[in-house]
Chain A
């Protein structure tokens, strides 16, 4: 069966520090991968998605970037964090193709001080 792992589960970082959140998927090949951010009490906002190694599409301009160095690895990064980057970050995967469900990891809660 397929599983998705995100780490760390929680992270507290000072303003201006760098960020690296990692997501890996097991049990499937060539998945679509996604990064979402969820503000407190709000819905999910898509940040990035990837259909293959090295292929990244950005949904909103922001202080973050994403990379996919391996087929089942997706990384969310920042060079200098802002207070507004605080939130709950979720990684998801889906099988390639239309109308396929997305499956989420358990997220990383990021607090910027």
Chain B
């Protein structure tokens, strides 16, 4: 089955700097890659996703890039703000037709210092 690794586990940046979180996946047939933001005591919220036929997607200060050859994808947050502080999870959906769910990375705790 699919295996997703996420790095780093913790990341501290100064307000206004950029933050980059990286994930690798094992199933070369995976075709959908969402990113989630989870605040304390809440469920994960989808912030951006990318499908395998696209190399990059951007939504305001957030962008995701996908390298299918290397089997990795990254989340980029520019001009970070204190409210960006949270735990971020990447995920990948493999092509196992018997399994319609996502495999998640272990999470990155982002701390934006004001």
Contact = CB atoms under 8 A, between A and B. Distances in A.
Interface residues of A, number: 26
Given A43-B105, A104-B45, A105-B43, A51 B32 contact: no
B46 A43 contact: no
Given A51-B100, A90-B43, A104-B45, 9 more contacts: A43-B107, A44-B104, A49-B99, A49-B101, A57-B99, A99-B32, A101-B46, A106-B43, A109-B41
Contact of B51 (A6, A99, A103, A104): A99
Contact of A103 (B46, B103, B106): B46
30 contacts: A6-B43, A32-B100, A34-B101, A42-B106, A43-B89, A43-B105, A43-B106, A43-B107, A44-B44, A44-B89, A46-B101, A46-B103, A49-B99, A49-B100, A51-B100, A57-B98, A59-B99, A59-B101, A90-B44, A98-B31, A98-B93, A99-B93, A102-B34, A104-B36, A104-B44, A104-B45, A105-B43, A107-B41, A107-B42, A109-B41
Contact of B32 (A98, A105, A106): A98
Nearest to A6: B43
Interface string A46-61: 1001010000010100
In the complex, which of the residues B31, B49, B51, B102 has the most CB atoms of chain A within 10 Å of its own CB atom?
B102
In the complex, which of the residues B34, B46, B101 has the most CB atoms of chain A within 10 Å of its own CB atom?
B101
